[in-house]
Chains A and B, each alone.
Chain A
Amino acid sequence: MELSTKQSDGTVIVTIAQNRIDSAAAVEFKDAVKAAAQDANDRVLMDLGQVDFIDSSGLGAIIAVMKTLPTGVRLDLTSLRPPVEKVFKLTRMDSVFRIYPDMVTAQSDMAQ
């Protein structure tokens, strides 16, 4: 599982550096992001800009990560590519997460 993390104030930015979050990757993805998110005080921002495929297991893993975050820490998503956005829309999970079109917009919304 390839990802990088960057901390800024209470936010941990997690950049997923692989192009698939699929069934074969889901468990490792979940564990890696959970570990990376531990230092967040109020927000985890997951950059999915390099991900061009997600399946139901990958979607489930993102939901699982959100559910393990402490109260008061939220998981936001940014830079979804069309195939990934489609899965979120079809399953209506786009109503569960704050989803930003790009990193600049996501970061300018930090204060909220």
Chain B
Amino acid sequence: MTGDIQLSCLSNEAAVRVLLKRLMPMLDDWGLDVDALATAQIVLAETLNNIAEHAFPNCDDAVVAIHVRACPHGLEVATRDCGRPMPGLTLPEGCCPDPTVPVDELAEGGFGWFLIRAQTEGLAYARKNGVNHLRYTVPVSTDFTPAYGANGRNVDSCTHFE
């Protein structure tokens, strides 16, 4: 067992669901607790669906790549796609829609980037050679021991992976 997973899916919501159904049992095998798994799944879903929807608005069969690595401070995640760049080459602010407005004015969207920002650290975006690179860490509880730790791999490499 390693603490390093690389998967890809096509740029549509059904394919994202299939990828998550495959990936989540692997993260479970790493020993993440239920709460960490829930956090990871929501953040991964939001980032991958954002790519499918906004980087590839008119294309359901482009490739989206994801790399997840277990590190002592959490899960390091990197995604890559060749779709449209982020507008202004910056990530959305992700303010949470206001829940105190009258019911008929409640926002029905705009929660995605809020949920990502609220549950990640080190969120970074770069556009290099026509490729979108998104990376972040999902902090998980300190009693989480990366599976590969027992295999003697160098944990310092965690912050440098692509």
Contact = CB atoms under 8 A, between A and B. Distances in A.
Chain A contact residues, majority secondary structure? helix
A34 B109 CA distance: 18
Nearest to A90: B118
B38 A56 contact: no
Interface string B95-115: 011011001101111111011
B34 interface: yes
B7 interface: no
A43 to B, nearest CB: 15
B115 A56 contact: yes
Contacts, number: 82
B13 A22 contact: yes
A55 B97 CA distance: 15
Contact of A93 (B52, B99, B104): B99
Contact of A82 (B34, B103, B104, B110): B34
Contact of B17 (A24, A64, A66, A95): A24
12 contacts: A22-B13, A23-B13, A23-B53, A56-B109, A57-B112, A61-B108, A63-B106, A66-B103, A66-B106, A90-B96, A91-B97, A96-B106
Given A64-B108, A90-B119, 9 more contacts: A22-B13, A56-B110, A60-B111, A61-B108, A67-B106, A67-B108, A83-B42, A86-B35, A90-B118
Interface of B: 13-14, 16-17, 34-35, 38-39, 41-42, 45-46, 49, 52-53, 96-97, 99-100, 103-104, 106-112, 114-115, 118-119
